[in-house]
Structures are given as C-alpha cells and as structure tokens.
Amino acid sequence: MNDAPERIRVMLVDDHAVVRRGLAAFLMAFDDLELVGEAADGSEAVRVCERVRPDVVLMDLVMPEMDGATATRTIRERFSNIQVIALTSFKEDDLVQGALEAGAIGYLLKNVSTDELADAIRSAHAGRPTLAPEAAQALIHSATRKNNHEPGYDLTEREREVLRLMARGLNNTLIAEELVVSRSTVKFHVSNILSKLHATSRTEAVAYALQKNLLA
C-alpha cells in the first residue's frame, strides 16, 4: 500500500535562470511538490503548459517576448484547471491588478519564505487565493483612488524617478545604469509611465510632466 501524498505538479516561469534554479531547489525540499516544467518567457510558458499540464504555475510578470499577465490570461483561457501564482519583485498597483484580472489566483513577492510559498502552492491547487500584504494594499490603493482621473496622480516614486531621468534625456540603457537595474525593468517602468500619463511618446510624457509639475 502506497501512503505517499499526491504530488502537486508545479511549473516555473522566469526569465532569469538563477531564479529558476533556486525555485527548483526549493521544490525538492517538499515531498508533495514536483517540478514538471520550466519556461523563460510567457510564450514559452504557454507551450510548455500545453505539453506538461502542471497543476500550478509560478509566474514572473516582467519578461521579454510575452509578459506574465498576458501568459496568465492565455493559460487560464486554454487550461482552466491550471492555477497561476504571480511571483514577482514588483508591487505596483497596476501590475497587481493586471495579474489578478488575467486570472492569477495568488500574488506573492520574491522575498516570500519557502514555507509561505509552499503553502500558497497548496492553496492554489485547492482553489484558494493567496495575496502578499503589499498586493492587498495595492488593491486598496487602486480602489480608493478610482475617482481621481488626473493623469499622473498614480505614479509610483520609482516611476517619478525614471521620469526625471527621462527628462534629462537618458535612454533606457543609461537609466538602467543610473538606477542599477536591468533594461527590462526600466522598459517596464517607462511603459507604465506612458500609460498613466496617456502619452504616446517619451517626449510627450516629459512635456506633460513638466506642465503638471510632476518632476518636483
């Protein structure tokens, strides 16, 4: 008679190989969790999901090719029995809301403890949501400012910092060097800034920011 617990099939999606290796090692510490697939971007995640059919996907959000929210929406539309947990370094309101609207059942930051992450995977498999406190707070922020429609009111401090560097004429590569972050992170922030300011270009965003005194 086999008394071994049913193993939850987990897939990892992150564009950083070192992160995937760390998560793979974490999964090995739990008898009821099993790594069945990995992907380095959203489009690959969809393909691997189709092949290995995991129970739960740990999904990074800021990735090249296809972002995590788009991948989450595609996976949930095609495979409704697969649950997705957003696992990211970002806690911006728009990112939290986008991931949950795409169908993610959980939203956790990468500084989560191994036990908390394992519990979140088990909860997701059982259909129960798990939100990092910062993600819950982001949803509250979003709800409380719905009536404020002035573009730029919801810029985060980091986005204002990026906007100030844009106003100095720095491109994404130079901004990344200045802030000691990756270019993909800067690209994510710039995209958010353009969206929040309803701008179609960096020049338009900077001009609006100067007009509204958003760079102070």
pTM: 0.70
Q: How far apart are CA 17 and CA 79, in angstroms?
A: 25
Give the class (CATH, top level) of 157-211. Answer: mainly alpha
Are 59 and 44 in contact by the 8 Å Cβ rule? The answer is no
pLDDT higher than 70, residue 127: yes
pLDDT of amino acid 56: 98
CATH number of 8-141: 3.40.50.2300
What pLDDT is attached to residue 148?
54
State the average pLDDT over residues 11-19.
Answer: 96
Domain boundaries, the chain: 8-141, 157-211
Per-residue pLDDT, averaged over 93-109, amounts to 89
pLDDT band at 21 (very low <50, low <70, confident <90, very high): very high
> What's residue 1's pLDDT?
45
C-beta atoms surrounding 95 within 10 Å: 22
